[in-house]
Amino acid sequence: MSFDAANPPRANLQLLPQRRVLENAIVRLLKNKPFYGHLLLSFRRQYVESKYPVGVTIANGTPTLIVDVQKLSRHQPTEQTAMLEHVIKHILHLHPVRGRKHNHQVWNLAADLAINPTIAGLPGTAHQPEQFGLEPGLAAEQYVRHLKSHVELGTLEGAGAGDRTRDNCGQLGRGSEQASTLSNHSDFIDDHASWSLADGTPERLAEQAVRDMVQQAHSKVQGDLPEDIRDTIKEWLTEPPIPWRHVLQQFIGTAGRIGRNRTWLRHHRRFQTTTPGCRKKRQLNLLVAIDVSESTNQGPLREAFARELLRISQARQSHITVLYAHSRIRKIERFSNSRAVSEVFHGGGFTDLRPVFDFAKEMNPKPTAVIYITDGYGQAPEQM
């Protein structure tokens, strides 16, 4: 339903003053803890009627703030901003997606225990590690292990705690007293049921969404970060290492198309069984360079280079030109498929990566890709 600012629906007119409660809480965050305020401005907002004043999730790859403005307005301003900080930290620690393999009730409690000690002004009902005889400052997964020793869980599929009765010998069944520990702390200050909406979001996608938001908020506050999350923000600002093996496998699997073959093993998309289908014909023409300079003259490193060359050669049908080089090209080998090089070539000297790329420019046909297996210490061309 669209919203007309000039003639808003009556229901929305009633909500507008109440939504100012949330806006005012965000303004207080922007003044007192600007990083949290700017981060929250990037969240998608969803207004609902709920048991809880606030909740948070990652729906379709987007962090989403869920608010019941009526229930939020019943809390003091300090509690409102504290609860917003609470749900923000759930997202910063990816709690909605990290707990998929754990029992939901235990994970929900463990996630709260991990962040609540660092937040001032929370309602008195907020869970704290001291209630369970645990020390603050642990990760949620560590609290899960401790909580499992405090309570008797029911089935892994269910959300409830176990509750055994006396056995046939008349002795108290294990867990009937301790099981109540979890059920007595099953009420939360925010909505954790909404975390199920994050099940459709892959963890890598959730990480990238949060990383983008953190980088944007960090650029606006110019390094003014809360002390308790400096290390966490530093990790988010550090770009993740490129999974180069995965990228290389994807490239080798899709590159090098050189034509089509007709085959009756595949149906034609248009004419079905009356016409043979087409199969893409692919063959890679790769140039693989191996750094044999003095800096790579280490047994484990040379063995790793050899394993990577073998993995490349076995990936699919290909013609491979192998160059052994340091400051110049020392040896050239050519082979197809998995006829891997058996001998070990010992080089030496310093590293200069440029001769290999000069060689690639003169190849005919040009290689589909140049793969340089090296420790990276050496001069490289500015562009290729």
Residue 35, pLDDT > 90, answer yes
pLDDT confidence bin for 282, thresholds 50/70/90:
low
Where are the domains positioned within the chain? 10-237, 249-373
pLDDT of 193 over the 50 cut: yes
The number of angstroms, rounded, from the C-alpha of 235 to the middle of its chain's C-alpha atoms is 12
pLDDT digits (tens, 9 = 90+) for 303-315: 888 888 887 777 6
Question: pLDDT value at position 10?
Answer: 44
Q: How confident is the model at residue 336 (pLDDT cuts 50, 70, 90)?
A: confident
- Within a 13 Å sphere around the CA of 235, how many CA atoms are in the beta-carbon half? 8
Cβ 62 vs Cβ 209: under 8 Å: yes
Q: What percent of the chain stands above pLDDT 90?
A: 45
Beta strand 284-291 pairing with 272-282: unpaired
pLDDT higher than threshold 70 for residue 118: yes
On whether the CB atoms of residues 30 and 38 are closer than 8 A, the answer is: yes
* Listed residue (68, 181, 54, 70) closest to 122, CA to CA: 54
Reading the block at residue 110, the tokens are 């463990």
Query: For residue 321, what are the β-bridge partners?
Result: 287, 334
Quick: pLDDT tens for 197-206.
998 888 888 9
Instruction: Give residue 156's pLDDT band: very low, low, confident or very high (50, 70, 90).
Output: very low
pLDDT at 244: 77
Mean pLDDT rounded to a whole number for the chain: 80
Per-residue pLDDT, 160? 45
> Which is it for the CA torsion 370, 374, 380, 383, positive or negative?
positive
pLDDT computed for residue 269 by the predictor: 61
- Angle in degrees, 0-180, between the axes of helices 10-32 and 34-41, rounded to the nearest 10: 150
- Label residue 41 exposed, middle or buried (CB < 10 Å: 0-12, 13-18, 19+): middle
Reported pTM: 0.60
Q: What is the pLDDT of residue 222?
A: 84
Residue 60 confidence class, pLDDT cut points 50, 70, 90: confident
- Residue found by looking up tokens 């962090």 in the block: 63
Distant-in-sequence, close-in-space partners of 230: CB < 8 Å, separation ≥ 6: none
Asked whether the bond before 136 is cis by omega within 30 degrees of 0, the reply is no
CA 107 – CA 156 distance, rounded (Å): 12
Beta strands in the chain (DSSP E): 44-47, 54-59, 62-67, 257-268, 272-282, 284-291, 318-325, 329-336, 369-373
Q: How far is CA 73 from CA 43, 126, 146, 184, in A?
A: 20, 18, 35, 26
